[in-house]
């Protein structure tokens, strides 16, 4: 029983330490007409192994992630521009959460929320 408490305390400590660099940004708004696509540009250190990924979509019947295009900087060390595309399916609202993660890491370095309205 004592060893279980120690394991829980150590696990909680590691979790809190790993979240100390976690940044959460306020949401961006994106308006799309049904059947069309819209995009948002995000800066990413792809050379360092970072990437923006879709973590969640509150209603996939309203809008979906269509894909991503990466435009690299002039030098390898320059940040890249990632263009994330979303398609509006039907009238309504959905919230998409993006995570900025490094390959191999389990916890996001940053998050960003996209509030999508489809008309």
Q: What is the 8-class DSSP label of residue 100?
A: E
Quick one: which H or E segment has residue 17?
helix 2-18
Q: What is the 8-class DSSP label of residue 36?
A: -
pTM greater than 0.85 (yes/no): no
Three-state DSSP class for residue 81: strand
User: How do the pLDDT tens digits run along the chain, 119 residues long?
Assistant: 677 766 566 665 555 444 544 455 567 899 999 999 999 999 999 888 999 999 999 999 999 999 999 998 888 778 999 999 999 999 999 999 999 999 998 899 999 999 999 99
Q: What is the pLDDT of residue 9?
A: 67
CATH number of 24-118: 2.60.40.2020
What count of other Cβ atoms lies within 10 Å of the Cβ of residue 12? Answer: 10
Q: What is the pLDDT of residue 106?
A: 85
Taking a C-beta distance cutoff of 8 angstroms, is the pair 103, 48 a contact?
A: no
- The single residue listed with the structure tokens 């390959």 is 103
Q: What is the pLDDT of residue 78?
A: 86
Domain ranges, ordered by start, for the chain:
24-118
Three-state DSSP class for residue 3: helix
The closest alpha carbon to 84, from 49, 114, 42, belongs to: 42
Q: What is the pLDDT of residue 15?
A: 54
């Amino acid at each position: 029983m004592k060893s279980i408490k120690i394991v829980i305390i150590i696990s909680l400590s590691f979790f809190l330490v790993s979240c100390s660099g976690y940044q959460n940004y306020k949401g961006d708004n994106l308006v799309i007409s049904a059947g069309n696509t819209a995009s948002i540009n995000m800066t990413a250190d792809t050379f360092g192994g970072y990437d923006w990924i879709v973590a969640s979509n509150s209603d996939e019947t309203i809008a979906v992630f269509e894909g991503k295009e990466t435009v690299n900087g002039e030098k390898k060390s320059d940040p890249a521009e990632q263009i994330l595309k979303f398609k509006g399916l039907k009238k309504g609202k959905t919230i998409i959460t993006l995570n900025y993660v490094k390959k191999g890491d389990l916890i996001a370095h940053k998050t960003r929320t996209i509030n999508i309205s489809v008309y």
